[in-house]
């Protein structure tokens, strides 16, 4: 049974960009084939990406998906 607790998907995209040679939003957008506005929305937590885009982002940084995204809350119990 799902709980009423709010689910959140946080990400470290901004941090990872800076850790990867201060990659610009445009550079990252081109690498993962999205618009820069989508990267902005992702970093602002205004958009939750598809699983496929999540994996593409992780691949762009050379890390695992769970290093990019952190799931919080909403556990069923």
Residue 3 or 35 having the CB closest to another protein? 35
For residues 11 and 70, what is the distance between their CA atoms, to the nearest angstrom?
6
- The nearest distance, CB 27 to another protein, in angstroms, is 12
Whether residue 57 contacts residue 49, with contact meaning beta carbons closer than 8 Å, is answered with yes
Interacting residues with another protein (CB under 8 A): 29-30, 33-35, 37-38, 41, 44, 46-50, 52-53
For residues 6 and 13, what is the distance between their CA atoms, to the nearest angstrom?
22
- The nearest distance, CB 63 to another protein, in angstroms, is 21
């Amino acid at each position: 049974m799902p709980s009423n607790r709010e689910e959140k998907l946080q990400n470290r995209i901004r941090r990872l960009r800076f850790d990867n040679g201060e990659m610009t939003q445009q550079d990252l957008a081109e690498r993962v084939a999205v618009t820069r506005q989508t990267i902005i929305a992702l970093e602002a937590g205004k958009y939750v990406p598809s699983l496929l885009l999540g994996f593409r982002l992780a691949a762009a940084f050379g890390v695992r998906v769970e290093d990019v995204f952190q799931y919080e809350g909403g556990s069923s119990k």
